[in-house]
Amino acid sequence: MTMTDPTREAVPDQTGELTEMSWDPITRIVGSLGIYTKIDFKAKRVAQCYSTSSIFRGYSIFMKGKDPRDSHFITSRICGICGDNHATCSVYAQNMAYGVQPPALGEWMINLGEAAEYMFDHNIYQENLVGVDYCEKMVAETNPGVLDKANNTESPHASEHGYRTIGDIMRSLNPLEGEFYREALQVSRTTREMFCLMEGRHVHPSTLYPGGIGTVASVQVFTDYLSRLMRYVEFMKRVVPMHDDLFDFFYDALPGYEKVGQRRTLLGCWGSFQDPEHCDFRYETMSDWGRKMFVTPGVVVDGKLVTTDLVDINLGIRILLGSSFYDDWVGQETFVDRDPLGNPVDARHPWNQHTLPRPQKRDFDNNYSWVMSPRWFDGKDHLALDTGGGPIARLWSTALANLVDIGYVKATGNSVVINLPKTATKPEASFEWKIPSPERGSNALERNRARTYFQAYAAACALHFIEQALAEIRAGHTKTWEPFKVPDEAIGCGFTEAVRGVLSHHMVIRGGKIANYHPYPPTPWNASVRDTYGTPGPYEDAVQNTPIFEENPPERFKGIDIMRAVRSFDPCLPCGVHMYLGDGKTLRTMHSPTGNGITPAS
Amino acid sequence: MAHLCRELLLRASRVQPLYGRQRLCFPTRTVGSRTPRLAGLLTERPAQRRWTPLSVSTTERIEPDAGGSADEEPVVHILWINAGLSCDGDSIALTAATQPSIEEIVLGGLPGLPKVAVHWPLIDFESGPHQGADNFIEWFFKADRGELEPFVLVVEGSIPNEALKEEGYWCGFGNNPATGQPMTTSEWLDRLAPKATAILAAGTCATYGGIHAMAGNPTGAMGVADYLGWEWRSKAGLPIVNVPGCPVQPDNLSETILYLLYQVAGAAPTIPLDEMLRPTWLFGMTVHEGCDRAGYYEQGDFAVEYGSPKCLVKLGCWGPVVKCNVPKRGWINGVGGCPNVGGICIACTMPGFPDKFMPFMDEPPGSTVSTAASTAYGTLIRKLRGVTARTVDKEPEWRTPGREIKTGYRPTW
């Protein structure tokens, strides 16, 4: 049943030449993730990897019996960087359960808020968290030869972004001291202002409701948004070519780098940005309106688009317990045995899940994490889909589906074209994200590259949404919210893309109260553990067999290649990675930190 | 700037630095003997006065033993534990702060700041393995061994009750070397609280328990003060400092950190806190008192649908009884907020959050009486104001073309 590429299977610890190394917690992600690995230093590769989350909060438990209208306020608190994605997804699920369709203007405004979230979140993560792995200070400490080469390599797109050499780009990414690092941090604030113009507060919105949005739709709110958006569009005209130069350089400077973080292409995307002309939030029509989303939902396996149907996607979700700290719910009540179309719903589907925590010691030979193992059943196999951190799956699915064409963005069948208009100091520009070559596939650098392109994609979509919103206002349609009643008995589901990937919410209402609620954010997919069939989760899979390019000996080992692999998924959850080093000895614990938090180095 | 520096020096002469047992040597002087007592929470401190020089430099890499040598400027370490039951939203919020920004704090961009080293999982450079170089968690073990002095401990997330079960953990942060199992967040608190100069609880989870402490929760979650005890005092005599908000308003957090750093450096008096340990200047007023929709309330004019610019009380807004400055301060750079931009106040800064305010979208029970009164009074006021408003919305009648002047002036030509 193993779904991973057989050539990337974990290597059993038979030779005794593997050495343990662990990162717990991993910094520069959201939440606490631990990664535990065994490394073969002679062969310069990671032999085995386990990821673990050390936090349990119990949302699905304490939401039971609560008023369903509270669910978006509550579930927003699941995540502190993309909580609004949860609120939005919950509102989608509630709209379905209550049978309410927001006014078009309300939907455009939610789309604008969510677009701002992508623009903000990908920006801060890429430049202030991931970017540090590629900055001069880091590269100097892990691969000095690469830095020398970078300093002597002209940037192919220097005229577009202003950094003459790749070394200059790396210096600009140095924490706090780097000019671009500071600029990006500032951009993360103006984009959050854009977000707050629509959804009130970041990161837990104040103005989102089932039925629409409470923001007062004046011309002013759109002017304020648009002014900031155009500055961001101008920013992206520098950022896209700059990151292309940086990532292309790594392939060039370190031949074989495409293997870092590489994994079989098993990507899921649940779609993003509703089109109010088509979306009525009814389950019965979900297949149709799902395909009208401005990011097309889809499952991509080995480069092939398996489906774009949200009903298929919904029914295929399975929650396996695997090596996690929960009791099985076999024999417990089934809440939903048929979906509204009459299709059977599996007992392991989120609608029917029961969360039964069983706190216990962490044991890597048995149970070792609070993360379960979501899988997608294609009728034959339980696929360990990942999200690639979000953008690569969204762009890949949208490109292959070839359904989106709004001028500002256009799918072509094998790429996505992003057209940005003239801005204050730069002419119009067009960028094309292309599906990576099979040699590169879904790997660390391509996940990162897609992130930058998707920032531009979200900005381009926002241009479309603001035009639509202003057209509504100019036509006198200023209503943003539609009243509704909470039924006694109902079910609902919501699908969207959290910043770092697939997000679903499943709710069951009985007696006017929440009887069951199970959210599935991207990180449980990515950080999932070895499942019932022994299939490792995506982080584990992607880190295993990652080659080591770092030049440091084990005593001074940072594990930069592993960190790049893990961070490319944009982890957003408490977890960990353990590693084992070669020569058959476990390294002595060393206490020699040489950095000092975010205080810059001299 | 000169004035501000002088002001800080003057204030410094009145207040007490909180560097632990004064291992650190830096220019000092003793003046006066008045010790401030604020919020009735602190005991008298010895009358020794110190102040730090205003030259601040954080550009060199600080070695782990920094802060111990005789001729070095002291370093205040900020240790940030984000591994309570949290969403990391307060860490994210701090990156949004602009008044001041985190980079201004770290780079010494404000006068009088001590040298600061922030150990913050969210954006820390260090990310090496335990067995290799640059292991982030090592700073926390150093603090536990008493090798970091002084440090401020920031806690994010509620503290689950680990005593409820036989084994395992609800949440942890790094590993306990003795067991190889995750070191629980509550154990970190047990270890570090006695050594911290100050503890700052960031966000409603850490302050009062928040969303994860909701009725029916399986983890027994609570706030830091619930765990350590509301009477807890740091070795420097400071109570826990609570900055609630779900998430915390960005500038409320960065400003409180700034204040604490000034206080630790001896450049500000003890932080004034209310009975729930909130900074008084941030949480002394209600949402309603700062809300630009309060005028609608006064006139008895209430929204009946979301999306309306009117007062939201009847749609579930708890603003009249919630202590929070967001409608006045906005969310980020003055943009956004809650009732001021169309979002009901769900009371996310309050100790009773969330249970006492649910279901959020129902009218608060107490507001029916007050809104009825305001409707009766406000309807009349609105009518009278309408008369005045129509008058003042017109120009005086003399502003007209023609050959005659109507302003009252008598031409002399």
Q: What is the pLDDT of residues A446-459, one digit of tens each?
A: 999 999 999 999 99
Residue A260: both structure tokens together:
């870092």
Query: Rounded to an integer, what distance in angstroms lies between the CA atom of residue B247 and that of residue B226?
Result: 19
Using CA atoms, how far apart are residues B178 and B181, in angstroms rounded to an integer? 8
**What pLDDT band is residue B305 in, cutting at 50, 70 and 90?**
very high
Residue of chain B whose alpha carbon sits nearest to that of A188 = B96
Give me the mean pLDDT over the B79-102 stretch. 95
**pLDDT tens, A99-126?**
999 999 999 999 999 999 999 999 999 9
Closest chain A CA to residue B107: A599
Distance from CA of B155 to the nearest CA of A (A): 13
What distance in Å separates the CA atoms of residue B266 and residue A343, rounded to the nearest whole number? Answer: 69
Residues within 8 A of B (CB atoms), A 541-600 only: 552, 554-559, 563, 574, 579, 581, 586-600
Structural contact between residues B329 and B335, judged by C-beta atoms closer than 8 angstroms: no
In this structure, are residues A320 and A369 in contact, taking their beta carbons and an 8 Å threshold?
no
Contacts of B338 in chain A (CB under 8 A): 200-201, 206
Contact A293/A275 with Cβ under 8 angstroms?
Answer: yes
Give all strands of the β-sheet with A490-498 in edge-to-edge order: A490-498, A501-510, A513-520
Would you give the end-to-end CA distance of chain A in angstroms? 52
Chain A positions in Cβ-Cβ contact with residue B92 (cut-off 8 Å): 30, 80-81, 202-203
Q: Distance of alpha carbon A190 from its chain centroid, rounded?
A: 21
CB contact under 8 A, A559 and B174: no
Is B51 a residue whose pLDDT tops 90? Answer: no
What pLDDT, on a 0 to 100 scale, did the predictor assign at position B15? 53
In this model, does residue A11 exceed pLDDT 60? no
Whether the per-residue pLDDT at A217 is higher than 70: the answer is: yes
% of chain B beyond a pLDDT of 70: 83
The model's pLDDT over A151-175, given as tens digits with 9 standing for 90+, comes to 999 999 999 999 999 999 999 999 9
Rounded to 5 degrees, what angle do the CA atoms A86, A89, A93 make?
Answer: 135
Place of tokens 């930069």: A560
Q: Reply yes or no on whether the pLDDT at A235 is more than 80.
A: yes
Residues 6+ apart with CB under 8 A from B381: B298, B299, B300
Cβ of B129 within 8 Å of Cβ of A595? The answer is: no
- Chain A residue closest in CA terms to B88: A80
Q: Is A515 on the interface with B (CB under 8 A)?
A: no
Nearest to A568 by CA among A436, A474, A370: A436
Our CA dihedral for B347, B350, B351, B356, rounded to 10 degrees, sits at: -20
Take residue B298 and report the two structure tokens written for it. Answer: 């006064």
Mutate which of B90, B94, B107, B125 to disrupt the A interface (most A C-beta within 10 Å)? B125
Residue B16: predicted pLDDT: 54
| Cβ distance of B106 and A176 shorter than 8 Å | yes
Here the ipTM equals 0.91
- Beta carbons within 10 angstroms of residue B292's beta carbon: 13
Cβ-contact B285, B53 below 8 angstroms: no
Bridge partners, B75 (sequence order): B115
Please report residues of B whose CB lies closer than 8 A to that of A360: 167-168
Bridge-based pairing of strands A304-307 and A501-510 is unpaired
Q: Are B265 and B76 in contact (CB under 8 A)?
A: yes
Q: Do B306 and A481 touch (CB under 8 A)?
A: yes
In chain B, the N- to C-terminal Cα span, in Å, equals 57
Please say if the pLDDT value at position B54 is more than 50: no
pLDDT at site B17: 57
Cα distance between residue A389 and residue A572, in whole Å: 10
The number of beta carbons lying within 10 Å of the beta carbon of residue B386 is 11
Q: Answer whether A372's CB lies under 8 Å from A528's CB.
A: yes
What b/e sequence results for A259-295 when a residue is b if at least 16 CB atoms lie within 10 Å of its CB, and e otherwise?
bbbbbbbbbbbbbbbbbbeebbbebeebbebbbbbbb
Residues in CB range of A77: below 8 A, 6 or more apart? A83, A204, B87, B89, B210, B211, B212, B246
- Residue among A499, A479, A508 at smallest CA distance from A63: A508
Match 């989608």 to its residue by tokens. Answer: A92
Residues A315/A346, Cβ–Cβ less than 8 Å: yes
Q: Does residue A310 belong to the interface with chain B, where contact is any CB pair within 8 Å?
A: no
Residue of chain A whose alpha carbon sits nearest to that of B333: A193
Q: Is the pLDDT of residue A573 over 50?
A: yes
State the average pLDDT over residues B172-188. Answer: 93
pLDDT band of residue A482 (cuts 50, 70, 90) is very high
If DSSP codes are grouped into helix, strand and coil, which group holds residue A83? helix
> Would you tell me which residues 331-360 of chain A have a C-beta closer than 8 angstroms to some C-beta of chain B?
357-360
Smallest CA-to-CA distance from B217 within B257, B159, B177 is with B159
Contact residues, chain B, for A214 at CB < 8 Å:
306-307, 312, 342-344
- Nearest chain B residue to A76, by CA: B87
pLDDT beyond 70 at B84: yes
Assigned token pair, A481: 């919210």
Residues in A 355-394 with any Cβ partner in B closer than 8 A:
357-362
Tell me, what's the pLDDT at A532?
81
Which pLDDT belongs to residue B8?
43
Residue recorded with tokens 């919630």: B322
**Residue carrying structure tokens 């328990």:** B209
Confidence of residue B18 (pLDDT cuts 50, 70, 90): low
Say what the pLDDT of residue A273 is: 98
Contacting A residues, span 125-144, partner chain B, CB-CB under 8 Å? 128-129, 132, 137-138
- Is the distance from CB of A198 to CB of A82 less than 8 angstroms? no
Residue B341 is classified by DSSP as G
* pLDDT reported for residue B57: 30
Q: Which positions ≥6 away from A249 have C-beta within 8 Å? A: A150, A153, A166
At A431 the pLDDT is 98
Distance CA A152, CA A133 (A): 20
Tokens found for residue A550 = 């770092």
Three-state secondary structure readout of A7-42: HHCCCCCCCCCCEEEEECCCCCCECCEEEEEEEECC
Identify the residue whose tokens are 């006068």.
B111
Sign of the torsion angle spanned by Cα atoms A61, A67, A72, A77: negative
Closest by CA to A336, choosing from A325, A350, A352, is: A352
| Residue with token string 């409701």 | A209
Checking if the pLDDT of B292 tops 90, the result is: yes
**What pLDDT sits at residue A535?**
86
Within A511-557, strands assigned E span 513-520
d(CA B362, CA B372): 16
Confidence of residue A2 (pLDDT cuts 50, 70, 90): very low
Closest CA to B127 of A564, A6, A295: A564
A55·B219 Cβ contact <8 A: no
pLDDT for the residue B381: 87
Q: Give whole-number Cα distances, A497 to A337, A476, A504, in Å.
A: 26, 31, 8
Q: Do B342 and A192 touch (CB under 8 A)?
A: no
| Contact flag B306-A213 (C-beta cutoff 8 Å) | yes
Q: What are B96's two structure tokens?
A: 């949004």
**Least Cα separation, residue B56 to chain A (angstroms):** 13
Among chain A residues, CA nearest to B177? A589
A 163-192: CB under 8 A from B: 175-176, 182, 185, 188-189, 192
Q: Which of A461, A72, A524, A540 is nearest to A268 (CA)?
A: A524
Which of 36-65 (A) contact B at CB < 8 A? 54-58, 61-62, 64-65
Do B80 and B198 form a contact (C-beta atoms < 8 A)? no
Mean pLDDT of B174-196: 95
Q: The tokens of B261 are what?
A: 């750093």
Nearest CA to B312 out of A468, A122, A200, A595 is that of: A200
Beta-carbon pairs below 8 A across chains A and B = 367
CB contact under 8 A, B87 and A129: no
Predicted pLDDT at B368: 85
Judge whether residue A425 has pLDDT over 70.
Answer: yes
Residue B28 in this model has a pLDDT that exceeds 80? no
Asked if the model's pLDDT at residue A580 lies above 90, the reply is: no
A20 touches chain B (CB under 8 A): yes
pLDDT tens figures, B67-79: 444 456 789 999 9
Q: Any chain B CB within 8 A of the CB of A227?
A: no
Q: What is the dihedral of CA B278, A201, A525, A415, to 10 degrees?
A: -150
Distances in Å between the Cα of B55 and the Cα atoms of B9, B26, B110, B268, B278 are 13, 12, 10, 17, 30
Local structure of A184: helix, strand or coil: helix
Global pTM reads: 0.90
Q: Which of A56, A175, A196 sits opposite B170 (nearest CB)?
A: A56
Q: DSSP 3-state assignment of B201?
A: strand
DSSP-derived secondary structure for B263-331: HHTTSSPPPPB-TTS-BHHHHSSBTGGG-TTHHHHHTT-B-SSTT-SSB-GGGT--GGG-B--HHHHTT
- Taking only the tens place, the pLDDT of each residue in B108-140 is 999 999 999 999 989 888 888 888 888 899 999
Q: How confident is the model at residue A16 (pLDDT cuts 50, 70, 90)?
A: low
- Tell which residue, B84, B151, B72, B157, has the closest CA to residue B119: B151
Mean pLDDT of B142-162: 96
Residue B246 has pLDDT above 70, yes or no: yes
Query: Cβ B126–A81 below 8 Å, yes or no?
Result: no
Taking each helix axis from N to C terminus, what angle separates A219-253 and A444-474, rounded to the nearest 10 degrees?
160
What pairing do the DSSP bridges indicate for beta strands B115-119 and B75-81? parallel
Cα-Cα-Cα-Cα torsion B333, B336, B337, B343, nearest 10 degrees, comes to -170
CB < 8 Å to A182, chain B = 103
For residue B395, give both structure tokens.
């120009």
Q: What is the pLDDT of residues B357-383, one digit of tens each?
A: 999 999 998 888 888 888 888 888 888
Choose among B98, B137, B307: nearest Cβ to A481: B307
Q: How confident is the model at residue B195 (pLDDT cuts 50, 70, 90)?
A: very high
